[in-house]
Copies of this chain bind each other. A is one copy, B any other.
Amino acid sequence: MKPQIKIILSNFFFEYETPRQVLVRNKKVAVACRIIQMGVLGYIIGWVFMYEKGYHAIDTAIGSVFTKMKGVSLTNISGEERIWDAADFVFPEQGASSFVVMTNYIATVGQQQDKCPELPDGKNKCTTDKDCDKGKYKRQMTGRCISNTSTCEIYSWCPVEDDRQIPDPAILLTSENYTLFIKNSITFPHFNVVRSNLVESVNQSYINTCLYHPKTDPLCPIFRLGDIVELSGFSFSEIARLGGAIGLLIDWDCNLDLSIRHCEPKYEFYGLYGTGRNDKEKPSLGYNFRYAKYYVEKGVEKRTLMKVFGVRIDIIVNGRAGKFDIIPTLTAIGSGVGIFGVATVVCDLLLLHFVTKKDFYKNMKFKHTEIPEETPALP
């Protein structure tokens, strides 16, 4: 068997097959065909390679964000002056990527565990004790109806909060001038690249003086709260009064074939939960939450309940880096060659079905196995 294997191997290595082709001299078909082929080639080179960078392997970033608010507000409520600094108005305090800046509040000072009548907000009137069924859902009633307020008595932190009237204008309207400093670090784990939003051009002296502006200072990591609100499409006085949520998108789109210096963040702002960009959806107005400051007075636990209205800022990092890689390149080429094959099929269709001399061309292209044309009837 050995010599036979040798022949097969020698045939395999020293002989190579290439398809036989007909060169069709037909202007119409040839021009149409070349235009289709050049269109495909143009699409592959121009669009897939140049524009969409089909030769790029893509990695998405994992990021980490640190924030710091700065600012002081002075309020004057019925003659009592009070200062608010960052420790008072930022929640949570440790500089997370999602936080709330208080702009308005309803404080209920000195609540303690007790029984007191519900807030008469129109929906919960009672006339007799029977209206105050003990087992009722969601409220812990004592079963008594208080004639003063015409509401049921409940177990509660007393006095109950009165949030029927939201302060207007917002108490901390000067929060417009607070500044937000953002540090953002991203990692492209696939490419082993780490990058910070404090890029080369953002040095210490620049940070000390700059303020973000979409046109003039697009890389400054310090933002005025009022600017953020307005760039996201809200009116500051409205959002300050009722609260609202804003998405601050840090968008990284990096081409790592170029110098890393060109890998820079882009900041975008939009209202969350339906407002902003897409105004077909109805805005869900307002953002508020309650928190309590507990203390002990004369052995009794008390709390100051704050209903906080504020600007909630969600910092969202969206990072994407591309870098030349052989696999997507060859995949793009391979699939491009495939599309070339489609072009050839289309050309053949034209040639064999839409041309006057189509039978002649069919004869040229195809050979039938039934009537072998290679054996000419010789005399």
Residues of A within 8 A of B (CB): 12-27, 29-31, 33-34, 43, 47-48, 52, 54, 62, 64, 66, 68, 70-74, 81-83, 85-88, 91-100, 113, 137-140, 155-157, 177, 183, 185, 187, 189, 192-196, 198, 245, 247, 249, 251, 270, 272-274, 276-278, 281, 284, 287, 289-297, 301-305, 308, 312, 314, 316, 318, 326-327, 330-342, 344, 347-348, 351, 360-361, 364-370, 372-374, 376, 378
* For the complex of A and B, 5 pairs with smallest distance between CB atoms: A334-B338, A334-B335, A337-B338, A93-B291, A16-B30
Instruction: Give the contacting residue for A94; candidates B100, B189, B292, B332; CB below 8 A.
Output: B100
- Assembled-state Cα–Cα distance A292/B93 (Å): 9
Q: Is the CB of A91 within 8 A of B92?
A: yes
Q: Is the CB of B189 within 8 A of A155?
A: no
Q: Is the CB of B367 within 8 A of A94?
A: no
Which of A137, A183, A251 gathers the greatest number of chain B CB atoms within 10 Å?
Answer: A183
Given that A19-B19, A330-B339, A335-B330 are contacting pairs, would A13 and B25 also be in contact in the complex, using a CB cutoff of 8 Å? Answer: no
- Assembled-state Cα–Cα distance A278/B158 (Å): 47
Q: Is the CB of A22 within 8 A of B18?
A: yes
Q: Is the CB of B330 within 8 A of A341?
A: no
Beta-carbon nearest neighbor of A348 in chain B: B18
Q: Is the CB of B20 within 8 A of A367?
A: yes
Q: Is the CB of B292 within 8 A of A88?
A: yes
Beta-carbon nearest neighbor of A33 in chain B: B16
Q: Is the CB of A369 within 8 A of B93?
A: no
Q: Is the CB of A369 within 8 A of B22?
A: yes
Q: Which B residues lie within 8 Å of A23 (CB)?
A: 15-17, 366-369
Instruction: Give the contacting residue for A290; candidates B33, B73, B87; CB below 8 A.
Output: B87
- Assembled-state Cα–Cα distance A293/B344 (Å): 77
Given that A92-B91, A295-B295, A337-B339 are contacting pairs, would A347 and B18 also be in contact in the complex, using a CB cutoff of 8 Å? Answer: yes
Q: Is the CB of A113 within 8 A of B66?
A: no
**Nearest chain B CB to A36 CB, angstrom units:** 10
Q: Is the CB of B278 within 8 A of A366?
A: no
Q: Which B residues lie within 8 Å of A342 (CB)?
A: 333-334, 337
Q: Is the CB of B21 within 8 A of A367?
A: yes
Q: Is the CB of B14 within 8 A of A198?
A: no
13 new A-B contacts at CB < 8 Å, known A196-B284, A334-B342: A16-B26, A16-B30, A18-B365, A20-B21, A26-B369, A64-B316, A71-B138, A72-B139, A86-B290, A189-B251, A194-B277, A196-B281, A293-B294
Q: Is the CB of B18 within 8 A of A155?
A: no
Q: Is the CB of A48 within 8 A of B327?
A: yes
- Assembled-state Cα–Cα distance A16/B364 (Å): 13
A-B contact pairs, 9 of them (CB 8 A): A17-B21, A19-B21, A52-B327, A82-B113, A87-B290, A87-B303, A334-B337, A336-B338, A341-B341
- Assembled-state Cα–Cα distance A272/B195 (Å): 9
Q: Is the CB of A372 within 8 A of B365?
A: no
Instruction: Give the contacting residue for A18; candidates B15, B24, B43, B62; CB below 8 A.
Output: B24
Q: Which B residues lie within 8 Å of A62 (CB)?
A: 249, 316, 318
